[in-house]
Amino acid sequence: MRKKIVAGNWKMHGSPESVTSLCEGLVNGVNASAPECALIVFPPFVYLSQVQAALAGAQVHLGAQNVSQFDEGAYTGEISINMLKASGCEYVLIGHSERRHVFGETLETVVAKFKQAKQMGLTPILCVGETLEEREADKTSTVLAAQLQSVCEALPGDTTVFDGAVIAYEPVWAIGTGKSATPEQAQAVHAQIRQFLTEIGQINANSVSVLYGGSVKSDNAAQLFEQPDIDGALVGGASLDADQFMRIASCNKSS
Ligand code: 13P
């Protein structure tokens, strides 16, 4: 059975004080009514230890927003997988659209990071998605196929590349715009992603969790989660409000 997940990408937001109150809100929310899905939060690197301590014992998992493709060494400004694991991370976002489009991360870099996370025991959440121009030019499926295919090519002959990994479909035009994909648009792409995984030789394509991201709020989450191929959400802005994040999570039922 596919894992149901609601994940919060805090991006570059927060102060020590706001992180403390957000974590308190999450702990209170989980204690009051534990959601049926797994919860993950992705704070900025500098708050990982603070969040790990604040969430100790609560059913909320920790992840990082980015990672280096290198093990260790003279890589100024980078953070390794082992450092993330030592800070309590179990998950890492790979290839978020802001990394690709604002910081120029290439397919090659994204693939190297995915491979590194997989091989060193952090669960990668691979973010994929098309720009508005690509959608309008009818290139959504070509773009997504290339993003997924490149990962498989980096691990040739491995029919289990995506086993244990998570995919987040985040159309670039829906991120931070308040303009979510409709449940039907998202469902169509999620079904396509599963189809691609099968076509590129992944034997367990049907067991990979595929999350939707892009302007998910408590008032549109339930309709998205009703779709058969949407296993949860990667939430940006609305994850900075503990009550709203918990309301989104409560919509993601286990069956
Ligand atoms: P918003 O929910 O703010 O649109 O952000 C989505 C996102 O980028 C999550 O990774």
Decide if pLDDT at 94 tops 90: yes
Tokens at 150, concatenated: 């490149």
Q: Tell me, using a 6 A CB cutoff, whether residue 234 lines ligand 1.
A: yes
Q: Mean pLDDT, to the nearest integer, of 14-33?
A: 97
Atom of ligand 1 nearest to the CA of 96: 10
Decide if pLDDT at 155 tops 80: yes
At 3 the pLDDT is: 95
Q: How far is the CA of 233 from the centre of ligand 1 (A)?
A: 9
N-to-C CA span, the chain: 10
List alpha helices for the chain, DSSP H.
16-32, 48-54, 81-86, 97-101, 107-119, 132-136, 140-154, 183-199, 221-225, 242-251
Tokens at 105, concatenated: 């991360």
Q: Mean pLDDT, to the nearest integer, of 79-83?
A: 98
pLDDT single digits (tens) 216-244: 999 999 999 999 999 999 999 999 999 99
102: three-class secondary structure by DSSP: coil
Delineate the domains of the chain, giving CATH numbers in brackets: 5-250 (3.20.20.70)
Contact 172, 132 (CB under 8 A): yes
| Residue 1 binned pLDDT confidence (cut-offs 50, 70, 90) | confident
Share of the chain residues as helix, strand and coil, in percent rounded to the nearest 5: 45, 15, 40
Q: Is 190 a catalytic site residue?
A: no
pLDDT single digits (tens) 190-222: 999 999 999 998 999 999 999 999 999 999 999
Tokens at 122, concatenated: 């952090």
| Residue 182 binned pLDDT confidence (cut-offs 50, 70, 90) | very high
Q: What is the DSSP letter of 207?
A: G
Decide if pLDDT at 171 tops 90: yes
Q: Mean pLDDT, to the nearest integer, of 174-187?
A: 95
